[in-house]
A = this chain, B = another copy of it.
Amino acid sequence: MEQRVRAFAPATVSNLACAFDIVGFAVDEPGDEVEVGFAEGSGAVIGSISGDGGRLPRLATKNTATVAVNALLDHLGERRGLVIDLHKQMPLGSGLGSSAASAAAALWAANGLLGSPLDARSLLPFALAAEEAACGTGHADNAAPSLLGGMVLIRSYDPLDVIDLPYPPELYVALVTPQLEIRTGDARRLLADSVPLSKAVTQWGNVAGLIAGLHSGDYKLIGRSLVDVVIEPQRAALLPGFYRVQKAALEAGALGCSLSGSGPTLFALCRGKSCAAHVAEAMRLAFADLDTPSEARHSAINPSGARILEGRLTSEARGSSRS
């Protein structure tokens, strides 16, 4: 039987308002599916990509899936060749961690195919290397939750220090992706190099409140801490109507609302699934009022992260599991 492993890795919300660059979480869907099998030669190459409208690089040194897997193969001293089929199932450049999800799914599938030598946390440096190749900087706040699931704090990048955060059981997210594209590189270059001290203090007060609220399950504290006085005002300028849609989310009952990643998707944390559904629809309508079509979703926090899709797993690879 041909050995192939197929894996899914979820989209992620990063730059959680005040917690820019340090907190992200995984959602149930959308996400990417990646299928990995053995091939002639050595190293990982792209076999096919679907769902990207032809926009993603096929070159192994440019695609985050192959960059990540080749870093893993180097680490393992593995000389066999791998071929990667990438099924994009989420919008590109939308602020939902598309490149990180591809890398996470590819790593998880390849690791499974190779007999699961590493656990999900140990795969993170390879996903980071891929993010660095895609965005110029390695930000783990998408890759870590896509691999690990849940709500994740990146306390430090050097050394990498990844902390699982708890979150209360009724925490849901509304996501609305308008038909606008913001390139992460552009969004990052737009940011001022420095922050006024008073705003930095306000920001870290909110970061502290957010972490305290997640730990204590205090939805209201989470809500009043989800305020970004540093990044959001700069990035909102890239997104016409941002404040009107944010206001619509809050008026519909969201705990807080900001840009996911560098946008254009807006996320809104909510207490309860029905509230999240209601908030997502309110945000979609607010964009519609601005003549901007958008796609609305809502989801629980995904606790599991990347996973093997058993249906396509061959008998040899079955049994690989996250440790």
Contact = CB atoms under 8 A, between A and B. Distances in A.
Contacts of A211: 207-208, 211-212, 215
A193 interface: yes
Contacts of A212: 153, 155, 163, 165, 211, 215
Contacts of A161: 209, 224
A204 B202 CA distance: 11
A156 B205 contact: yes
A208 to B, nearest CB: 5
A19 interface: yes
Given A18-B204, A209-B161, A155 B225 contact: yes
A20 interface: yes
Contacts of A191: 197
A156 B202 contact: yes
A200 interface: yes
A285 interface: no
A196 interface: yes
A141 to B, nearest CB: 10
Copies of this chain, whole number: 2
Interface in A132-171: 153-156, 161, 163, 165
A86 interface: no
Nearest to A221: B163
Contacts of A205: 21-22, 153-156
Contacts of A221: 155, 163
A211 B221 CA distance: 14
A206 interface: yes
A36 B210 CA distance: 40
Contacts of A208: 19, 22-23, 153, 155, 163, 207-208, 210-211
Most chain B beta-carbon neighbours within 10 Å: one of A21, A23, A153, A197: A197
A98 interface: no
A150 to B, nearest CB: 13
A204 B201 contact: no
16 contacts: A19-B208, A20-B204, A21-B205, A22-B201, A23-B208, A155-B205, A155-B224, A155-B225, A156-B202, A156-B206, A156-B209, A193-B197, A195-B196, A195-B200, A211-B212, A215-B215
Interface of A: 18-23, 153-156, 161, 163, 165, 191-197, 200-212, 215-216, 221, 224-225, 230
